[in-house]
Amino acid sequence: MFRSSVNRDILSPISFLSRSARVYPDKVAVIYGELLFTYREFQARVHQLANALLAKGIGPGGKVVFICPNTPPMLEAHYAIPMIGAVLVCVNSQLSRREYLHIINHSDAKAVFVDNEFSPRIQPIVDELDKVELFVTICDDSCAPQLQGPEYEAFLATGATTPPAVEGIIDEDALIAINYTSGTTGKPKGVMCSHRSTYLHTVGEIIESSLGPDSVYLWTLPMFHCNGWGFAWAVTAVGATHVCLRHDLPQEIFGLIEKESVSHLSAAPNILLLMICYPEAAQVKLRRPLQILTAGASPSPAIIQGMEDIGANITHVYGLTELHGPHSVCAWQAPWVELDPDNVARMKARQGVPYTTSLHMAVVDPLTMQPVPDDGLTMGEIVMRGNNVMLGYYKDQEATDLAFRDGWFHSGDLGVMHPDGYIQIMDRANDIIVRGGDIISSLEIEEVIYRHPDILEVAVVSAPDPIWGEVPKAFVVAKLGRKPTENEIIEFCRKNHAQFKAPETVEFCQLPKTATGKTIKAQLRSREWLGLERKVS
Amino acid sequence: MFRSSVNRDILSPISFLSRSARVYPDKVAVIYGELLFTYREFQARVHQLANALLAKGIGPGGKVVFICPNTPPMLEAHYAIPMIGAVLVCVNSQLSRREYLHIINHSDAKAVFVDNEFSPRIQPIVDELDKVELFVTICDDSCAPQLQGPEYEAFLATGATTPPAVEGIIDEDALIAINYTSGTTGKPKGVMCSHRSTYLHTVGEIIESSLGPDSVYLWTLPMFHCNGWGFAWAVTAVGATHVCLRHDLPQEIFGLIEKESVSHLSAAPNILLLMICYPEAAQVKLRRPLQILTAGASPSPAIIQGMEDIGANITHVYGLTELHGPHSVCAWQAPWVELDPDNVARMKARQGVPYTTSLHMAVVDPLTMQPVPDDGLTMGEIVMRGNNVMLGYYKDQEATDLAFRDGWFHSGDLGVMHPDGYIQIMDRANDIIVRGGDIISSLEIEEVIYRHPDILEVAVVSAPDPIWGEVPKAFVVAKLGRKPTENEIIEFCRKNHAQFKAPETVEFCQLPKTATGKTIKAQLRSREWLGLERKVS
């Protein structure tokens, strides 16, 4: 399946499945409800899918779209498609028709696999998907295929369980996947990942999260999000067990944690919030230590404390789709055991230091590209280098050149470098609030409000103001049963922070979120600004 | 120090030190008796050594020999020398003058660093070391340098603590180290390791031994032996702590395990034997789980049981210098918990399955190169492929071509493939005993004798016989206080094994060992055969 000589193998995460199928053939690889697949069975299904695709003329270089929740077919896709040299394009299952149309056509997909829950979103645009030659419907929740084409299990049955007879991967820098950015600004861009970059990022995930053969990984993080930060491959690499999960419902999550003795999960803070707000969370007894990786937004002190109360340990990681997911980790330091919980939470909420496999991360002055002082105060842009940085954006050299200017990948996030070498995001570049001439970081205010005992979640954005041009406005979710007032919040900010940085107004509401759990600040901001155009420096 | 662009870093274990010095500057990196170095200090010393070497004209491609026990300078060498593109040549500290002469000259060494304990062995040959421009004596146990040239600490002091200003590594396939084989047959050969192969093997060690930031690694395994199987780099990579050790004395080993809360060590079975025979071993209370990797010879049931009695878990790994050390691991299988201790020991004594990073290992018919049946009976040669296979033998293309024939690395070891995919060595190729026409594996007989309750250690070799041509002879070490007789052992073998395979004679004695703990069967065999020449098929 991939080229190899006596002392040179192509670095590809595909190799992990053949190794685990050899070492642990009878061990459970995948659990999905009552369904179990051993590593032998998992590999056989992967080979079937690979062979079935080959028979349809899809091989090296062919793009295959998957729109699927965290069910076994989604895992199988992560091996079968790259194994024949084809390119996996996992697409967010919560997009609009327009977005699907753009991504499927832009990626040059020759095949589209859709879970039945989402096929109604694809059906209306089928005629506009010019290059697609094969539609496969995955029937999981319901049964009738809705798209013209085979049903997934029937399609699998057309392929042999033997390894596909194709030398699919002849170069470790070849494409393994294209992951589209969430496109909060402009059209989604196709992030190109190679076999090598993916292998090395996967190794990084194994090391940072101490995955081992007896680990049990619960799929709370969507695999369409940077291939589940690489865990689609990392869990297999060590011969651990995948526990699939269709919907992130707290009772299901807790049920599986108990039933399957889950040791690891990854999730955006909004899922963790769901978990700690689950009324029966307090009754949960964890049978083994639970390691949680979280990213997408800093976990609030309330979330960190809440998860630790039920016996889980949270590690904060940070990255972007362009970096295969996490690039940095807020690595634990032994002396932190001396700190009180608030300060531990503050330490843990930082974006941290590079992974063992990613190495380079700096906060630089955007004009000079020189590192800012490590004073925890001076803001600059967070930039990265490393083997886990994407090859580039698919069919967009201009955007690639812009992102790669000056020899670094530009995150667009603003941060500071602390004296201990840890990086902290102060703001996404377009979330700065300029009140008069004063620059206010919305995250800075959020951090203060998070310290208020009645607050569960907060998002601060800029709002228009006749005097100052713009001012901060806070959107706040109170803890269950708590009823803080607007004035209390504003006073709390004035007392605990620079007075001019206190929000002008506070609104109590639910926060809009992306499918991956990021608060969509742009939505809150545009509501405030109505149709006003605003140029951000 | 090494070339890097936005999405491509050279794979080099050198990167691990800069990462750990950034993430854990104040954490203890190295312990040696009362001496402690934090990661910041460790890195500063490494930079000093690198800069001092550069100032002496030693840079990219230059070979530097180290003859040194497991003290801090030996660790520093593993970073400073490759960092400037030079090549580290760690040499066994137990060699003869003649062997030192061969290795130092053959390696084209420009500099030789020698610990004072071993400088008397180098002094007499100094004039014959044509290419060496610099001798440095490491004064640890005693003080007066004995070779013409600086003392190590004084030499270090000539170098700045800042990163060396040289782009030393421009290609990940460049040489990082040459490790000489023990040369039990013929002259030692120089195994060439690249930055890439070493990086990937190191990652493999981290994954297989679950090293993490809170690990504490005790240096019982000589670093001159495959760079301590890569742990010289692996321990640093995860920001764990190295505990140095000059001599492998059991009271020191146990003292350090307790004092420093050691979590990991690697050792040949002879060191483990020393440990379980230590009278006070029974009183040892391990404060945390101790993971032991062992290789070089299969651990006997007595060793496995003895180590488990004091609370340590043994994992058996297998490899060769040509593979950077371990290539395979006897990976634990959950169902083995049902087995009785004898059968667990028998399972664990097998050489196992490839590492996650090495992937390929087979038992083949030496003529057809086809895999033998996986019946646990049919013998063949054990062959390997993978990113951890050496580049080749230094200045010996012929031997390289021979070792790499047919697209595999040839171990020269004979083994079987069990139905569960685990490989077991039946014999080193030249340890077969041909009794009449019957082929007898000496390991097979050893395994039987090991089951005898009075036996600690055994080695079986061929001895001349007027009737059969050759017959097996057993050299045996009894357990303390036990006095089995020759007849008892022979009868035990006859009862528990094919009658013709029982040893003809049994001798009670100490077994001759190499510096790395392998029994030197060749020595026992040649004693039996006196001056007789013998051709082995």
List all residues 6 or more positions away from B418 whose beta carbon is below 8 Å from its beta carbon: B350, B374, B376, B424
CB-based contact B421 A25, cutoff 8 Å: yes
Q: Which domain holds residue A490?
A: 436-529
Q: How many CB atoms lie within 10 A of CB B395?
A: 14
Surface of A (22-41) touching B: CB under 8 A: 22-25, 27
Q: Are residues A108 and A190 in the same domain?
A: yes
Nearest to B164 by CA among B89, B62, B55: B55
Q: Are residues A423 and A459 in the same domain?
A: no
With beta carbons less than 8 A apart as the criterion, state whether A235 and A242 touch: yes
In sign, the C-alpha dihedral spanning A515, A518, A519, A522 is: negative
Nearest residue of B to residue A205, measured between CA atoms: B207
Residue A34, both tokens: 């009552």
Interface test with A, best of B23, B199, B235 (most A CBs within 10 A): B23
Cα-trace Rg, chain B: 23
Residue A214, both tokens: 């007896």
CB-based contact A334 B27, cutoff 8 Å: yes
Q: Are residues B94 and B173 in the same domain?
A: yes
List all residues 6 or more positions away from A477 whose beta carbon is below 8 Å from its beta carbon: A455, A456, A457, A458, A508, A509, A510, A511
Helix (H, G, I), strand (E, B) or coil at A16: helix
How high is the pLDDT of residue A531? 43
Q: Are residues A158 and A305 in the same domain?
A: no
With a pLDDT cut of 90, the percent of chain A lying above it is: 66
C-alpha distance from residue A52 to each of A60, A134, A140, A152, A164 (Å): 14, 11, 20, 10, 9
Domain presence at residue A231: no
Q: What are phi and psi of A213, to 5 degrees?
A: -60, -25
Q: Out of A47-56, A508-517, B311-320, B433-442, pick the least confident.
A: B433-442
Given the DSSP bridges, would you call strands B109-115 and B63-67 parallel, antiparallel or unpaired?
Answer: parallel
Helix pair A269-277, A250-259: axis angle to 10 deg:
90
pLDDT tens-place string over residues A194-208: 999 999 999 999 999
pLDDT at A454 over 80: yes
Q: From the CA of A34, how many Å to the nearest CA of chain B?
A: 21
Is the minimum CB–CB distance between A8 and chain B shorter than 8 Å?
Answer: yes
Nearest residue of A to residue B21, measured between CA atoms: A421
Nearest CB neighbour to B407, from listed A5, A11, A360? A5
Alpha-carbon A441 to chain mean position? 24
Q: What are phi and psi of A210, to 5 degrees?
A: 50, 50
Nearest residue of A to residue B419, measured between CA atoms: A22
CB-based contact A237 B391, cutoff 8 Å: no
Nearest residue of A to residue B355, measured between CA atoms: A19
CB-based contact A24 B333, cutoff 8 Å: yes
**CA distance linking residue A9 with residue B429, whole number of Å:** 27
Nearest residue of A to residue B208, measured between CA atoms: A212
AA letter at B172: E
Q: Are residues A393 and A273 in the same domain?
A: yes
How high is the pLDDT of residue B220? 97
Helix (H, G, I), strand (E, B) or coil at B454: coil
Q: Which pLDDT band holds residue A516 (cuts at 50, 70, 90)?
A: low
How high is the pLDDT of residue A231? 98
Task: Show residues of chain B in contact with A336, CB under 8 Å.
Answer: none
pLDDT at B178 over 90: yes
Whether the full predicted model's pTM is greater than 0.90, yes or no, is: no
**CA distance linking residue B284 with residue B278, whole number of Å:** 10
Nearest CB neighbour to B210, from listed A27, A210, A237? A210
Domain presence at residue B112: yes
Domain presence at residue B96: yes
How high is the pLDDT of residue A145? 67
**CA distance linking residue A223 with residue B91, whole number of Å:** 49
**Residue ending a domain, choose from B373, B388, B421:** B421
| Domain harbouring B396, CATH code | 2.30.38.10
Q: Which pLDDT band holds residue A106 (cuts at 50, 70, 90)?
A: very high
Nearest CB neighbour to B359, from listed A6, A9, A200? A9
**CA distance linking residue B81 with residue B244, whole number of Å:** 19
C-alpha distance from residue B98 to each of B121, B122, B142 (Å): 10, 10, 25
- Rounded to an integer, the average pLDDT of A416-426 is 94
How high is the pLDDT of residue A537? 28
- Rounded to an integer, the average pLDDT of A68-86 is 97
Domain presence at residue A281: yes
Residue A465, both tokens: 């103001």
Per DSSP (E only), the strands in B1-128 are 4-5, 8-9, 28-32, 35-38, 63-67, 87-90, 109-115
Average pLDDT over chain A reads 90
Nearest to B151 by CA among B130, B164, B135: B135
**Residue ending a domain, choose from A394, A428, A462:** A428
How high is the pLDDT of residue A103? 96
Please list the residues that pair with B507 across neighbouring strands: B475
Q: From the CA of B135, how many Å to the nearest CA of chain A?
A: 34
Task: Show residues of chain B in contact with A360, CB under 8 Å.
Answer: 4, 9
Domain presence at residue B85: yes
Q: Where are the alpha helices (DSSP H) in A349-414?
A: 397-403
**CA distance linking residue B325 with residue B203, whole number of Å:** 13
Q: Give the DSSP H/E element, type plus range, for residue B121.
A: helix B119-122
With beta carbons less than 8 A apart as the criterion, state whether A372 and A381 touch: no
How high is the pLDDT of residue A198? 98
Nearest to A494 by CA among A479, A472, A470: A472
pLDDT at A414 over 90: no
Residue B310, both tokens: 């004091």
How high is the pLDDT of residue A534? 32
With beta carbons less than 8 A apart as the criterion, state whether A80 and A54 touch: no
Surface of B (377-406) touching A: CB under 8 A: 385-387, 389-391, 404
With beta carbons less than 8 A apart as the criterion, state whether A74 and A68 touch: yes
Q: Give the DSSP H/E element, type plus range, for residue A87.
A: strand A87-90
Helix pair A14-23, A195-208: axis angle to 10 deg:
50
Q: Are residues B49 and B133 in the same domain?
A: yes
CA-based end-to-end distance of chain A: 50
Q: How many CB atoms lie within 10 A of CB A437?
A: 7
Using CB atoms within 10 Å of the CB of residue A274, give its burial: 0 to 12 exposed, 13 to 18 middle, 19+ buried: middle
pLDDT tens-place string over residues A210-269: 999 999 999 999 999 999 999 999 999 999 999 999 999 999 999 999 999 999 999 988
Helix (H, G, I), strand (E, B) or coil at A317: strand
C-alpha distance from residue A59 to each of A2, A155, B306 (Å): 13, 16, 54
Per DSSP (E only), the strands in A238-332 are 241-243, 264-267, 290-294, 312-320, 325-329
Domain presence at residue A65: yes
Q: Are residues A403 and A519 in the same domain?
A: no
AA letter at A227: N
Is the minimum CB–CB distance between B338 and chain A shorter than 8 Å?
Answer: no
The residue ranking higher by pLDDT, B330 or B532, is B330
pLDDT at A184 over 60: no
Q: What are phi and psi of A175, to 5 degrees?
A: -65, 135
**CA distance linking residue B153 with residue B139, whole number of Å:** 8
How high is the pLDDT of residue B413? 86
Q: Are residues B183 and B108 in the same domain?
A: yes
pLDDT tens-place string over residues A117-139: 999 999 999 999 999 999 999 99
Q: Where are the alpha helices (DSSP H) in B210-298?
A: 226-229, 231-237, 250-259, 269-277
Q: Give the DSSP H/E element, type plus range, for residue B385.
A: strand B380-385
- Work out how many CB contacts closer than 8 A connect A with B: 116
- Rounded to an integer, the average pLDDT of B60-86 is 97
How high is the pLDDT of residue A27? 98
Q: Are residues B411 and B469 in the same domain?
A: no
Q: Out of A131-140, A277-286, A371-380, B101-110, pick the least confident.
A: A277-286
Domain presence at residue A352: yes
| Domain harbouring B498, CATH code | 3.30.300.30
Number of structural domains chain B divides into: 3
Q: From the CA of B22, how many Å to the nearest CA of chain A?
A: 7
Residue B202, both tokens: 């190191």
**CA distance linking residue A323 with residue B498, whole number of Å:** 61
Average pLDDT over chain B reads 90
Q: Where are the alpha helices (DSSP H) in A58-216?
A: 72-83, 97-106, 119-122, 152-157, 195-208
| Domain harbouring A347, CATH code | 3.40.50.12780
Q: Are residues A397 and A325 in the same domain?
A: yes
pLDDT at B527 over 60: yes
- Rounded to an integer, the average pLDDT of B417-425 is 95
Domain presence at residue B315: no
**CA distance linking residue A43 with residue A22, whole number of Å:** 10
ipTM: 0.85
Q: Where are the alpha helices (DSSP H) in A313-381?
A: 341-348
Q: Are residues B135 and B184 in the same domain?
A: yes
With beta carbons less than 8 A apart as the criterion, state whether A474 and A506 touch: yes
How high is the pLDDT of residue B291? 97
Surface of A (212-271) touching B: CB under 8 A: 212-214, 237-239
With a pLDDT cut of 90, the percent of chain B lying above it is: 66
Surface of B (176-215) touching A: CB under 8 A: 197, 200, 203, 206-207, 210, 212-214
Specify the DSSP class assigned to residue B214: T
Q: What are phi and psi of B496, to 5 degrees?
A: -105, 5
CB-based contact B9 A391, cutoff 8 Å: no
**CA distance linking residue A415 with residue A202, whole number of Å:** 26
In sign, the C-alpha dihedral spanning B147, B149, B154, B160 is: negative
Q: Are residues B408 and B441 in the same domain?
A: no
AA letter at B100: Y
* Residues counted in chain A: 537
**Residue ending a domain, choose from B421, B450, B485:** B421
Per DSSP (E only), the strands in A321-355 are 325-329, 353-354
